[in-house]
Amino acid sequence: MPAMLILGIESSCDETGVALYDAAGEGRLLAHALHSQIVMHRDYGGVVPELASRDHIRRTVPLLRKVMSDSGRALGEIDAVAYTQGPGLAGALLVGAAFAEGLAAALGRPAIPVHHLEGHLLSPLLSRRAPAFPFVALLVSGGHSQLMRVDGVGRYRRLGETLDDAAGEAFDKTAKLLGLPYPGGPALSALAERGRPGVCRFPRPMLDSGDFDFSFSGLKTAVLTRVREIGQPDERQCADIARGFQDAIVDVLVKKSLGALRRCGLGQLVVAGGVGANRELRRRLDAQAGKADITVFYPEFEFCTDNGAMIALAGALRFKAGIAQKTAGAFVVRPRWPLGELMG
């Protein structure tokens, strides 16, 4: 079977990702490479957009070289170049988009602009144990928290979303309150593992709202109030707070996900986005899956956070379905881009 090689480039935030995916037959990831800017942004307590853009410029070519050499393929064999068109930081997106469009034009191949969240949504399809359409997706990243019904490539219906902070954002902001380094999510969840359950109990926002929307900013405020009450929490108190915070978020995410599955009459749940790496969330969902007749799918840990493989995959599925490819050349990026608009 002749190969159908799709290169994927991700540069929407603080990770530069490049990957090569062979869309022929069952499809197969041939190689991928990633550079995370976490260390660079750490001193500032968050992502500095201009530094992010400049670093993407430095990293893209070396990562592409590595992917081509690891896969043993030549640039001339690439059939299409997929890249993240949005949402994300405008400057960072421009770097990846300009590079991808330029490369596609030089190769005389089409370019495929990809929605970053579509990449996250489809990322569990990179696993050997992959879900089949239709499924419900819980998308929990730094910028987004949504429940979606996924009927096929490009066929997404929003069931609910956060009204304020995204789950990852709530993790990051709460971590900052507790003096943990950026990015806060992994640090906070590591601390929570040492906390005692039930010692700090925080509200479960919108747990019983009857819809699939979330709200997490009140939870962050509750943590702030708790920290102020204590004054200078010691390590044990911080761990208990982290535990209470994580339990509250996980409770809401689990209950809403199960409700969405019931509403749609579906049995498959896909968890995608950075917060999908959270071990407590996985434990709780797996425990539920044991009781209810549902199956939960996660991307591999390395594909939970931003990466090029999910963009190459989303591009490959679009390329195969004959949707959304364009002649390389003029392009736009879409820093704000609701996923619902993909349905068009």
| Segment 93 to 152, residues that bind Zn ion, using CB under 5 A | 141
142 versus 244: smaller Cβ distance to ligand KG4: 142
User: Distance from first CA to last CA of the chain, Å, rounded?
Assistant: 33
99 versus 298: smaller Cβ distance to ligand KG4: 298
165 versus 306: smaller Cβ distance to Zn ion: 306
Minimum gap (Å) between residue 14 Cβ and ligand KG4? 8
Written as one string, the DSSP assignment of 111-122 is EEEEEHHHHHHH
Say whether residue 85 binds Zn ion (CB under 5 A): no
Among Zn ion, ligand KG4, none, residue 275 binds (CB under 5-8 Å by kind) = ligand KG4
Say whether residue 189 binds Zn ion (CB under 5 A): no
SS3 (DSSP) at 272: strand
- Report d(CA 201, CA 244) in Å as an integer: 5
Say whether residue 174 binds Zn ion (CB under 5 A): no
Q: How many residues does the chain have?
A: 344
Q: What contacts 24+ positions apart, CB below 8 Å, involve 21-26? A: 21/309, 21/312, 21/313, 21/315, 21/316, 23/79, 23/316, 23/317, 23/319, 23/320, 25/1
Say whether residue 306 binds Zn ion (CB under 5 A): yes
Among ligand KG4, Zn ion, none, residue 124 binds (CB under 5-8 Å by kind) = none
| Segment 149 to 178, residues that bind ligand KG4, using CB under 6 A | 168-169, 171-172
Q: Which two tokens stand for residue 85?
A: 């068109």
| Segment 292 to 311, residues that bind ligand KG4, using CB under 6 A | 305-306
**Stretch near ligand KG4 under the rule CB under 6 A, chosen from 127-135, 181-189, 254-262, 292-300:** 181-189
| Segment 3 to 32, residues that bind ligand KG4, using CB under 6 A | 13
Size of the site for Zn ion (CB under 5 A): 2
Size of the site for ligand KG4 (CB under 6 A): 20
83 versus 202: smaller Cβ distance to Zn ion: 83
Nearest C-alpha neighbor of 278 from the set 172, 147, 203, 179: 172
Minimum gap (Å) between residue 334 Cβ and ligand KG4? 14
Q: Which two tokens stand for residue 10?
A: 């991700």
Say whether residue 86 binds ligand KG4 (CB under 6 A): no
Going through the chain in order, the beta strands assigned E by DSSP cover 5-10, 15-22, 28-36, 78-86, 111-115, 135-140, 145-152, 155-161, 268-272, 295-297
Beta bridge partners of 149: 136, 157
- Report d(CA 57, CA 46) in Å as an integer: 19
| Segment 46 to 85, residues that bind ligand KG4, using CB under 6 A | none
| Segment 270 to 289, residues that bind ligand KG4, using CB under 6 A | 273-275, 277-278
- Report d(CA 84, CA 164) in Å as an integer: 24
Considering all CA atoms of the chain, what is the largest pairwise distance in Å, rounded to the nearest integer? 66
Contact code string over 37-76 relative to Zn ion, x by CB under 5 A? ----------------------------------------
92 versus 200: smaller Cβ distance to Zn ion: 92
Please classify residue 158 by burial: count the beta carbons closer than 10 Å to its beta carbon, then call 0-12 exposed, 13-18 middle and 19+ buried: middle
| Contact present, 299 and 276 (Cβ < 8 Å) | yes
Minimum gap (Å) between residue 214 Cβ and ligand KG4? 14
Residues that bind ligand KG4 (CB under 6 A): 13, 141-143, 168-169, 171-172, 183-186, 189, 273-275, 277-278, 305-306
